[in-house]
Each structure stands twice: as C-alpha cells, then as structure tokens.
Amino acid sequence: MINLPTIMYHSVGVPDADWIWNHLTIPFDLFEDHIRWLRKYNFNAIDFSEYYRFLHCGDPLPPNPVFLNFDDGYLDNWVFAYPILKKYGFKGTIFINPEFVQPHQVRRPTLEQVWKGELSHQELQTHGFLNWEEMRKMEADGVMDIQSHAMTHTWYFAEPEIVDFRHPGDGYVWMDWNERPDMKWCYLNQDIYKPFLRFGGPVYRHGKSLEVRRFYPESIIAKQLENFVAEQGLGFFDLHNWRNVLRMEAHKVLSKLRTEGRYETDSERRDRLHWELGESKKIIESKLSKQVSFLCWPGGGYDPEAIEISKEYYLGSTVASRDKTGSISRSVDGYVRIERIGCPYIEINGKVRYTDGRYLYHYIKEYQGIKVHRTIRRGLKLLKVLGFI
C-alpha cells in the first residue's frame, strides 16, 4: 500500500458562469502551472496499466510517479489539457461515458493552434464533450488513455418521497437526460440544446445511478402537475408558497391512486448494472480499438453489488472519498482499487478558487506523509484567503 498521488480533474479550460457545475472547471492557465511544477520537481506521469502491474505484479514504477485523471470527457480536455500535457511530456487518463460522446467526427481546434498564432483563445470552442476522433488522436499520441466512466453518469429516483418540483433555473438537468439520452452530448451547447421545460413535475428522492435501486413513479402524477403549472403560467413561480401549492396538488393526485409507483426488481437492477458497466467497455473498445480495463465510478456512486459486477469487466476501479473500506490503493484477488485526491482548491466567500502549482506540489507531498509540507500548504492557503497571493 502506497500514497501514490492520483489527482482528479474534470473540466480544464474557461469557467462558464452559467453552467450549474462550473466549479468543476480549473482555468487552463492554472492547470498549466500545475504541470509546470510537476515537471520542475521531476514527477513522472503513469497510466493505469503501469499502476496495475505495480500493485498486482510488483513491477517497478518510474521515480516520483503521479497518476492524472480527468472525469467525464469534456471537450476542453482535448482543447486545453491535451496540448498542455503534450508540451511538458506528461500523460493522463480520461474517463468517458459513451452516452455523452459528441457524435460528429471533426477534430476541433486546440490551444496548439493558438500557440502557433493561427487562432485566438476566443475562437476556440470550449464547452461540450469529446468525440471519438479526438480521442483517437490523443490515444495515438500517447498523451491520453481513454477508460470507462460507465454509460449514463446520471441520477435516478430512489424513493417515493417528493423532495422538490421542476422549476425555472433548477439543477435537475439529469431528468432531461433520462428522458432523452440521445441529447445528453449537447446539453452544454445552448445553440443546440433545448431543455424540455416541463415545469411542475415532481422530483423524488434520488441517488447516483450505480448505487440506488431505481424507483419508477406513476407517470400520471407528473402529467397532472405539469398540466396544472402550464395552466397557471410561469407567473405561478412568483408565488412565495408555490412548492406548498404543488405539494397539495400532488396529494390530490396520489389520493386517487392505488400505488405511488414501483421499484425495479433484483433482476432488473442486475441487468441494468451489467448494461451500464459492460456496454460502456464494449463501445469504447470498439470505437478506439483498444482494451478498456479500468473503471471510474461516476460521482463516486456504487454499492457492493455494483463492485462485484464490475469485476466481470474490469481489472480495477476508483475508490470514492467517502468509502473508507478501501481508502488506500491496493490489489485484492487481482482487482485493483485506487484512491484519488481532488484537484486542490480553496473556498472563498462560498466560491471555489483553484490553487496554483506551488500549492499542488505541497499538497501532494503532504498526501505522501511529509509533515513539513502540511505547514507550508496551510500557510499558502491563509495567504490566498487573505488575498496576498
């Protein structure tokens, strides 16, 4: 067991204030500073196959190994992360969900073309998801290794309790994904993506797709509430008690039903998990002509059954930060579980502020157990919060 740093990134590029998960984007100039510092201190990037052979077979790793991960397959991994890693002789691993892959096959411009003076930063398309051709190029260059993030990366209703209702500006875009998975790839492109705008529909208690037993509510409940809101108009949401009004309407509908819905059966859940985990591997292997052996659990969501099924398809998977049963990277019966640490940031006035390469360096050394770096990192954090750096 070792504290080999596995750094988790998501989006690397230009933060979009209108994106609900904009805190996942590290500005590309800070990311380059991260890689510059890793190069300065002679870190060597590895991929999963090297990590696996080390943990399972005892094969040696290069000095100062670091494992760089990028979740979700955002377009900016191609536009910014790929050319920056290539510039410094580094490599990383991108975990993709086939349902989010952009269906076109034209490689979009990257930061390399800006460096050559062929384009400006403003001309780069940065929001969206990777396509297969871009992934093939990154793989061919030995810069990015594409692995599995399962199929859907969504949330499902898990209980009959209503916790909210669809409303303007809500964060339940995943409900749209579940209704139209063929449109998931374009949800970050406002010129293409048109939300369904079915306001009033109930939002049931929910969880990540690979950790819950899915609950299917009676569809008439959503239809009745959506019709009710449509009749009222958008001004309905100006009422201070609109949620209470909808709860009363929902109660009226439910009182006339025999059941609120049903849970998926054991067999249905097993089939769904096999599809999520097996189909993702199959598609990536087919599209990229490669072996896919490593799984990153989307959102860190899984349960014991999901882990057991994953062993039928993969040689290893990530470990969620909340999971203390396997919090250190290890190999058990040939199946590797790898702990990851998030790209470091500081919250200032409720907003995420990513830190520079110097902070990352001390963050990594602290993770590796060198205590003096904890003191230095805390000092840097204080200076950042106070606005001195």
pLDDT tens, 334-371?
899 999 999 999 999 889 999 999 999 999 999 999 99
Assign 264 to helix, strand or coil.
coil
The pLDDT of residue 332 is 66
The pLDDT of residue 192 is 76
Residue type, 4: L
For residues 196 and 215, give the distance between their C-alpha atoms in angstroms, rounded to a whole number. Answer: 22
Per-residue model confidence as pLDDT tens digits over 42-56: 999 999 999 999 988
Contacts of 162 (CB under 8 A, 6+ apart): 202, 203, 204, 247, 250
Find tokens 């910014």 and name the residue. 80
The pLDDT of residue 334 is 82
Return left, alpha or beta for 387; rule: phi > 0 is left, psi -120 to 50 is alpha, else beta: left
β-partners of residue 316 are: 294, 336
Q: 26, 28, 6: which is closest to 85 by C-alpha?
A: 28
β-partners of residue 68 are: 7
For residues 260 and 6, give the distance between their C-alpha atoms in angstroms, rounded to a whole number. Answer: 44
For residue 203, CA distances in Å to 79, 171, 247, 251, 308 come to: 36, 11, 11, 14, 30
The pLDDT of residue 320 is 78
The parts of the chain modelled with pLDDT lower than 70 are 1-2, 321-332
CB burial of 339-371 (b: ≥16 within 10 Å; e: otherwise) equals: bbeebbbeeeeeeeebbbbbbbbbbbbbbeeee
Signed CA dihedral, 7, 13, 14, 16: sign only: negative
The pLDDT of residue 191 is 76
6-151+272-385 carries CATH number 3.30.750.200: no
Q: Where are the domains of the chain?
A: 6-151+272-385, 155-263
